[in-house]
Structure 1
């Protein structure tokens, strides 16, 4: 489970992209790419890549990129451990 909070003092949705990378920095999954209102959101990753193949145990990184309605950009990244 990936928990993210989209903060914006302006009305309107933010453009949000959540991407998962392997330990070598290769993109393995585009988890979300769309508009979200301000607030708390949860994303669930089943451990598969964009083709639906299950990935092996290891360290992965998730990255969130967001653009607020006023055009301001925000980026955050965190490590996570996938255990099979």
Structure 2
């Protein structure tokens, strides 16, 4: 998977969910690597920041946070899981 891969973006969203909806760069990277294999931390950082810039997640202090809005959060997770399952 390249850094623009929908699978990597999906893995980042799923990783945040598995971390209880919030996590640091290191925590997210660890879970992403468990989900889809080795993804360098700089790539995870790039994806997290793109998701922040697009408004899909927030950054609060040193943590990245999924939306608190339940429908949006569930929709993001369902779509992310579907992408991962198709790969």
Q: TM-score, normalised by structure 1?
A: 0.30
Higher relative contact order (CA 8 A, sep 6+): 2
Q: Per residue, is there more strand in 1 or in 2?
A: 1
Q: TM-score, normalised by structure 2?
A: 0.30
Q: Per residue, is there more helix in 1 or in 2?
A: 2
